[in-house]
Amino acid sequence: MYIPTYDDMLSAHARIKPYIRKTPVRTSDYLDELTGAKLFFKCENFQEPGAFKVRGATNAVFGLDDAQAAQGVATHSSGNHASCLSYAAMKRGIPCNVVMPSTAPQAKKDTVRRYGGKITECAPSTSSREEAFAKVQAESGGDFVHPYNDPRVIAGQGTCSKEFIEQVDGLDAVVAPIGGGGMISGTCLTLATLAPETKVIAAEPEQADDAYRSFKAGHIIADDAPKTIAEGLLVPLKDLTWHFVSNHVSEIYTASEQEIIDAMKLIWKHLRIVMEPSSAVPMATVLKNPEAFKGKRVGLIVTGGNVDLDTLPWLTTP
């Protein structure tokens, strides 16, 4: 198992810079007063494909040699990694095949197709995704770019925290959502060198809390098909991301479905930005655990903004 290094992250940043956006950081006096903390929101929802995953995907795609690239790339994803890999492949002019659960938001499927990605749908479980993917990859021959358990992807995701630390001084903590752990791993990778005093905190839905249970148990616990409105956080940790989580994450907090919805509404209203449910989980956990954040300078990574506006969770959740 190759563990990516800080130098890998620096190389990734140089490689992807022409293709990604340096996303802004937003603040809100109201949210600061509400939480008793000074909050800084890194808006990765402003990336062209609408999510942070464009960083890791682009690093993987543009790191291929010409012979590998000619075969294209392939992956399985609930949506954002599929969109971002399709975008990166389009920029390089190579094929991209993705396996997506049938329950993935239509907005994310539409984005994949807009960037030229070819979709194969599967049942909404980790085992179904991996089984369907094995067939697709065998047929296409594309380079497998795992959504998160890939050194190239983690190095790319780490560039987000590099920018964040350069934009905001003296963060006491950075909070990011956790599913498979790609963003959290990249955050750990970067902050361990650039800001070792800054705590890395993961945020997870209560209804898909396998990372939380893994963290407490000291080994990976994987759920096959959890259900939560934060559909970007349905996948389990793997060996590479577990390395970073187990060695560098300070704490994992969880939030209920209603707490995620309430946080999503607050951010939509007071930051005036579109974010998906997965991106609201960090804010939900800050609101739920005020004693952990009061008086602190806290960075929150808004990981994505790809939502179906006709099926927003407060319109569809009983």
pLDDT tens sequence across 193-241: 999 999 999 999 999 999 999 999 999 998 877 889 998 898 899 999 9
% of the chain at pLDDT higher than 70:
99
Find out whether 86 and 117 touch, Cβ atoms under 8 Å. yes
Question: How many residues are recorded in the chain?
Answer: 318
**Could you say which of 100, 122, 144 is where a domain stops?**
144
Q: How many CB atoms lie within 10 A of CB 182?
A: 31
Q: Which helix (H) or strand (E) holds 284?
A: helix 277-288
**Could you say which of 144, 177, 200 is where a domain stops?**
144
Let me know whether 91 and 155 are in one domain.
no
Decide if pLDDT at 317 tops 60. no
CATH number of the domain bearing residue 11: 3.40.50.1100
Q: Is residue 287 part of a domain?
A: yes
**What is the reported pTM?**
0.94
The pLDDT score that the predictor gives to residue 316 is 63
Distance CA 87, CA 59 (A): 12
Let me know whether 97 and 67 are in one domain.
yes
The pLDDT score that the predictor gives to residue 163 is 98
Q: Which domain holds residue 89?
A: 54-144
Let me know whether 229 and 275 are in one domain.
yes
Q: Is residue 83 part of a domain?
A: yes
User: Higher pLDDT residue, 164 or 318?
Assistant: 164
User: Higher pLDDT residue, 201 or 309?
Assistant: 201
Compute the average pLDDT of residues 303-314: 79
Q: What are phi and psi of 18, to 5 degrees?
A: -70, -15
Decide if pLDDT at 109 tops 70. yes
Let me know whether 42 and 135 are in one domain.
no
Find out whether 180 and 210 touch, Cβ atoms under 8 Å. no
Read off the tokens for 305: 């903004």
**Could you say which of 111, 144, 177 is where a domain stops?**
144
Let me know whether 20 and 163 are in one domain.
yes
Lookup result for tokens 């970007």: 232
